[in-house]
Chain A
Amino acid sequence: MSARGPHPPIAILGTGLVSALGRGAAATLRGLREGSAPPAPPRTIVDAFDGGRPVFEVPDDVFLAPPLPLPGGRGRRGTRLALLAAHDALAQAGPLAAAPERIAVVVGTTVGGMNDAEDWIAKFTRLEAPDGAAPSGRIAMRHLPLGETPRLLARRFRFRGPCMAVTTACTSGSQAIAVGADLLASGAVDVVLAGGVDVLSRITHLGFASLGLLAGGRCAPFMAERAGLNLGEGAAFLVLAREAAGRTPRAWLRGWSSTSDAHHATAPSPDGAGTASAMRDALEAARWSPDDVDWIHAHGTATPTNDAAEVAAIASVFGARPVPVSSTKHHCGHTLGAAGALAAVLGVLAMEEGFIPGNTEEGTQDPACALHLVPPAGLARPAGRVLVNALGFGGVNVALALSGVAP
């Protein structure tokens, strides 16, 4: 987790992703290059803020494509997204040179099946029980198993190694990758299916609205006009392996680190110290210097405090170096538990395509955010080393250092 010397390189054999941009690399890159539809009022949830707090939802047609729902008919929206992304990642990875007992499933999520449980919970909180008794929390929460998605993925793909959900707020997806890498580095397993998934739910939409963190239009990371984030939904998975087994991997995970701000329940430490520490540790673990980094995929939620803390952290680590920085959340929203994994897959795509996605074109750069932001159209240039940031409620920070296949 925290770097103590160099990490062994972890091979990335396959990736898959689903977001408001669509399913797979082609749809995603098309959106990143040519522009994306703006966020819209949510269709899958209804609340007091739906009209004024637009979101990025996954297009309906994505759900109609194979593979079809999981055995037993349990294919809830989040699990369905996870299945699609995991399926694509595994298909790309090809046959795995590992026994089922040596393949782990690690899934990052913040709310799990909350969207499916909400109607049920609401009935109980309205005391609709025939005897009017207070509901049993244990019964009501039975529909909210955070561990359901990894369990069903393991069953679907017949993996029998360690299986768990990681839930560290908005770093969950990155943290799942880091945990998977730790399992590989320790020799506990040979292959890990790691990633993240989250879908829209009333509980998160209302919660972020209550905190005053939702934007009224498209979010604008690092811009002076930024007024909050857009919630999104999606899933992204990577197939990680301790050995490339004679194959050329898609990319390498060279370093990873997780730290805690130890500061506040929701706000990041203003000086970005914890985020900076995670970035430094990941660089150290990868045996990189700040000069080696070609692109920072920023967490960049577009909330005033989050962006300010991340800017301070990047300045602390990179100084005046003109390292390109961008956030992609203006294209697909903040996908919470999927965000870090989605960013990692985008990092892989950027290295393969020689295309660094641009930051938003909405507004003007905040003078206080003194970053070398990637122009909105993106940059067509080789990117061999990418640093992916994630920050979450509770002050958790995760940084991932990814490299291409070139030496």
Chain B
Amino acid sequence: MTLPVLADAVVRDGSGFPARGDAAMLRALMAVDNVFKSLLPTTPVAIDDVSPLLWVATEEGSRTVDLAYWRTAEGDGGAYASPQLFASTLPSAVAAEVARYFRMSGPVVVVTGVGSAPSVPPAEMASLLGAHHVLALVLHPDYARATILEVASRDPLP
């Protein structure tokens, strides 16, 4: 089963994106790059009020954040490494923020490397996991686009 694309977000610099998230949320995510931020305002379009499996496919998370963190860590033996940036280097940081902001208590799965070996496409993979509801976020390798796939259900949605 291939999930239908609900939103295909073009987010080269984060501008021009519908600001459905509130300012406080975005301020709290200053450590997260624009691609990650842009996912958050779009997510409510997809999740409505269900708590699906949150499934994120990414190559390696945020390169921007990784390098920013490394710059804080390279001097003085790393004595001044940024704890906030460190937490955001995890590829799962965006999923955690989405879950936190929208109070999603369901399963969270972040996968990388999908497609780099014989494999099924990300959207089909989500459905193969057997979840009743799936919200799949696909961060494209060039980091210029993020695709949000519609909640899929084996049961009627509420």
Taking Cβ atoms with an 8 Å cutoff, the residues of A that contact B are 1-2, 4, 46-49, 101, 105, 110, 112, 121-122, 124-126, 135, 137-138, 140-141, 144-148, 150-151, 154-155, 160-169, 175, 178-179, 182-183, 185-186, 188, 202-203, 205-212, 257-266, 274, 277, 392-396
Contacts and interface: CB of A to CB of B under 8 A. Distances in A.
Contacts of A182: 128-131
Given A48-B78, A165-B111, A265-B87, A154 B100 contact: no
Interface stretch (B14-22, B41-49, B68-76): B68-76
Contact of A207 (B54, B83, B91): B83
Contacts of A392: 92
A110 to B, nearest CB: 7
A166 B107 CA distance: 13
7 contacts: A146-B60, A148-B113, A160-B118, A164-B119, A210-B83, A259-B105, A262-B102
B125 interface: yes
Interface string B19-59: 00000000000000000000000000000000001100001
B125 A259 contact: no
A393 B131 CA distance: 23
Give the most central of B90, B93, B97: most A CB within 10 Å.
Answer: B90
Contacts of B74: 122, 125-126
B71 A125 contact: yes
B92 A169 contact: yes
A277 B54 CA distance: 16
Given A126-B74, A151-B116, A396 B106 contact: no
Give the most central of B64, B99, B102: most A CB within 10 Å.
Answer: B99
A331 B38 CA distance: 42
Nearest to A1: B107
Give the most central of B61, B67, B76: most A CB within 10 Å.
Answer: B67
Interface of B: 53-54, 59-61, 63-64, 66-67, 69-71, 73-74, 76-83, 86-93, 95-97, 99-100, 102-114, 116-120, 125, 128-132, 143
Contact of A1 (B81, B91, B129): B129
B82 A210 contact: yes
Contact of A175 (B88, B91, B109, B143): B109
A207 B99 CA distance: 23
Contacts of B107: 1-2, 178, 257-260
Given A135-B67, A164-B114, A211-B86, A2 B106 contact: yes
A393 B94 CA distance: 11
A264 B100 contact: yes
B118 to A, nearest CB: 5
B96 A162 contact: no
A396 B114 contact: no
B93 to A, nearest CB: 7
A165 B113 contact: yes
Contacts of A211: 83, 86-87
Give the most central of A161, A186, A205, A396: most B CB within 10 Å.
Answer: A396
Contacts of B86: 203, 206-208, 210-211
A206 B73 contact: yes
B78 A206 contact: yes
Contact of A167 (B54, B91, B102): B91
B112 A167 contact: yes
B126 to A, nearest CB: 10
Give the most central of B71, B77, B80, B86: most A CB within 10 Å.
Answer: B86
Give the most central of A112, A260, A261, A263: most B CB within 10 Å.
Answer: A260
A147 B93 CA distance: 17
B104 A260 contact: yes
B67 A262 contact: no
**The 6 nearest A-B residue pairs measured at CB:** A147-B113, A394-B96, A48-B77, A207-B86, A1-B107, A137-B63
Given A167-B110, A182-B129, 8 more contacts: A47-B78, A125-B71, A179-B129, A188-B128, A203-B70, A206-B81, A207-B87, A207-B89
Given A167-B110, A265-B100, A260 B105 contact: yes
A168 B120 CA distance: 21
Contact of A137 (B64, B79, B96, B109): B64
A277 B107 CA distance: 11
Given A146-B60, A210-B81, A395 B67 contact: no
Contact of B118 (A138, A163, A186): A163
Contacts of B81: 206-207, 209-210
B12 to A, nearest CB: 14
B67 A147 contact: no
